[in-house]
């Protein structure tokens, strides 16, 4: 039978996919090495298993031991999967800039996760580097892979990723583009490829707030280059041993915004649900467009899966809060975002005014549509009812049909906010929205005010 003995045997041999729309103006072909097909949905599975197996061979990792590592999430996932199969415990430290999805995924495999502050020096006792090192010294039979300085990291890519890319491109690759964090992927893969063909260009993607690019170009480690950034998985504020600057031909810096916007473009234009480092790599690739010529074969590595970023780059509110999305005027469906899953309250024409008032009071609302056999035939507003009750308190015993006001106007999902706001007048206090599923929602002045406040 064509089966795997464990999930670890599925690591590697990931597909190479042509990029078509995003690079349609390029003079050459661009391919993505889609590492989301690994069992942990990232390229880090490769080096995580390699580090574990090498540590087992030389005795650093003993049976029943505890693996302790500082990780942005993906390496932790690879280590956690290996630990489940091989019988180790895991404790991971990570930073508070990492997505909640990454932390939750690690915990799903039984790992303990400690979240540490991002905006501290690596030497600070609160940093995720320092906390993991302290725990290793305190916990018996513990081992820290130290993915940044553990050369098994880059060796895994020298042995696996490089040969796969060479084989998949029939040796025609001319450029490799990779986001650099630990440096293992770019430098291990790049070393292999340059041994096969020294003319291949190895291009690293860096982020603003990281030291790599300036150090490569000047040899100066400039602390003034270091500041907090949002992009995940690439860039560093120190020099990991796995970053071999002799292998890397060029670093390209990419802003947080450009990386985030491109991260969203990839699934929408290429159908590949990749993560933030892929967005950064593709944004950097577009910036370097003039470096490529006809006949070149460019390979970009897509490190991890988009599900790790659902609460961040793929969340509209998160993007807007950071001014990463162009401001667009909301449509009618956007105005009911806070209550679109709630059933619309209505009152029947044959109900009494007293019953209608009970509904208004119970649900703390100021207006309500009136229906007859499922059709919207009128409305009631608390200010109007208050005036009528002051004039004659007996009206509370009358049926709604005798007091109801005009029915609320109805709009579709895509009606612009200007159209909706014009329909709300002194005489008419709300608008009904019929969504594409045929469900009805109410839009009030309060909904419009909230939307305008967000726009500003």
- Give the active site residues: 44
Burial string for 92-129 (b: 16+ CB within 10 Å, else e) reads: bbbbebbbebbbebbeeeebebebbeeebeeeeeebbb
Helices (H), 58-99: 74-86
Other C-beta atoms lying within 10 Å of the C-beta of residue 195: 12
Q: Which has the closest alpha carbon to 51: 150, 190, 199?
A: 150
Q: For residue 58, give the 3-state DSSP assignment.
A: coil
Q: Are strands 175-179 and 142-143 parallel, antiparallel or unpaired?
A: unpaired
Strand partners, 367: 381
Pairing, β 250-254 against β 142-143: unpaired
Three-state SS for 15? coil
> 176: number of CA atoms within 13 Å, CB side?
32
Q: Cα–Cα distance between 33 and 31 in angstroms, integer?
A: 7
For helices 256-270 and 276-287, what crossing angle results, to 10°? 100
Between the alpha carbon of residue 393 and those of residues 168, 212, 362, 400, 406, the distances in Å are 84, 78, 20, 14, 22
**Residue 170: other Cβ atoms inside 10 A:** 8
Under 8 Å CB-to-CB from 40, ≥6 apart: which residues?
48, 74, 77, 78, 80, 81
Q: Provide the pairing of β-strand 367-372 with 375-381.
A: antiparallel
User: Residue 339: is it exposed, middle or buried by C-beta count within 10 angstroms (0-12/13-18/19+)?
Assistant: middle
Question: Alpha helix (H) ranges present in 58-183?
Answer: 74-86, 100-108, 128-138, 152-156, 162-168
Rounded CA-CA distance 78/47 in Å is 8
């Amino acid at each position: 039978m064509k089966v795997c003995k464990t999930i670890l045997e599925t690591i590697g041999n990931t597909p190479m996919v042509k990029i078509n729309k995003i690079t349609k103006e390029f003079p050459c072909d661009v391919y993505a090495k889609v590492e989301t097909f690994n069992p942990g949905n990232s390229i880090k599975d490769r080096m995580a298993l390699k580090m574990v197996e090498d540590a087992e061979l030389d005795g650093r990792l003993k049976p029943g031991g505890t693996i302790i590592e500082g990780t942005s999430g993906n390496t932790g996932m690879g280590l956690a999967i290996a630990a489940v199969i091989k019988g180790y415990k895991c404790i991971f430290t990570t930073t508070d800039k990492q997505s909640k999805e990454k932390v939750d995924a690690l915990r799903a495999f039984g790992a303990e996760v400690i979240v540490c502050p991002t905006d501290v020096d690596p030497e600070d006792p609160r940093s995720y580097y320092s906390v993991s090192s302290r725990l290793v010294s305190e916990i018996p039979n513990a081992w820290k892979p130290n993915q940044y300085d553990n050369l098994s990291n880059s060796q895994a890519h020298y042995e696996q990723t490089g040969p796969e890319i060479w084989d998949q491109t029939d040796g025609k690759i001319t450029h490799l583009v990779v986001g650099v964090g630990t440096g293992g992927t770019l430098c291990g893969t790049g070393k292999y490829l340059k041994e096969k063909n020294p003319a291949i260009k190895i291009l690293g993607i860096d982020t603003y707030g990281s030291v790599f690019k300036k150090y490569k170009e000047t040899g100066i480690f400039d602390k003034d280059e270091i500041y907090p950034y949002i992009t995940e998985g690439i860039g560093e504020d120190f020099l990991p041993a796995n970053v071999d600057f002799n292998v890397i031909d060029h670093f390209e810096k990419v802003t947080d915004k450009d990386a985030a916007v491109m991260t969203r473009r990839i699934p929408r234009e290429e159908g590949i649900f990749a993560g933030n480092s892929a967005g950064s790599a593709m944004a950097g690739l577009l910036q370097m467009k003039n470096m490529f010529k006809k006949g070149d074969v460019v390979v970009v590595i897509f490190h991890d899966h988009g599900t790790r970023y659902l609460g961040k780059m793929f969340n509209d509110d998160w993007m807007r809060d950071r001014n990463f999305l162009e401001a667009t005027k909301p449509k009618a469906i956007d105005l009911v975002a806070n209550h679109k899953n709630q059933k619309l309250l209505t009152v029947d024409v044959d109900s009494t005014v007293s019953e209608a008032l009970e509904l208004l009071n119970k649900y703390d609302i100021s207006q309500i549509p009136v229906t007859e056999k499922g059709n919207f035939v009128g409305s009631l507003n608390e200010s109007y009812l208050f005036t009528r009750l002051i004039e004659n308190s007996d009206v509370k015993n009358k049926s709604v049909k005798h007091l109801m006001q005009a029915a609320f106007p109805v709009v579709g999902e895509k009606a612009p906010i200007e159209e909706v706001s014009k329909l709300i007048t002194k005489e008419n206090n709300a608008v009904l929205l019929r969504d594409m599923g045929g469900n009805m929602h109410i839009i009030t002045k309060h909904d419009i005010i909230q939307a305008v406040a967000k726009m500003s």
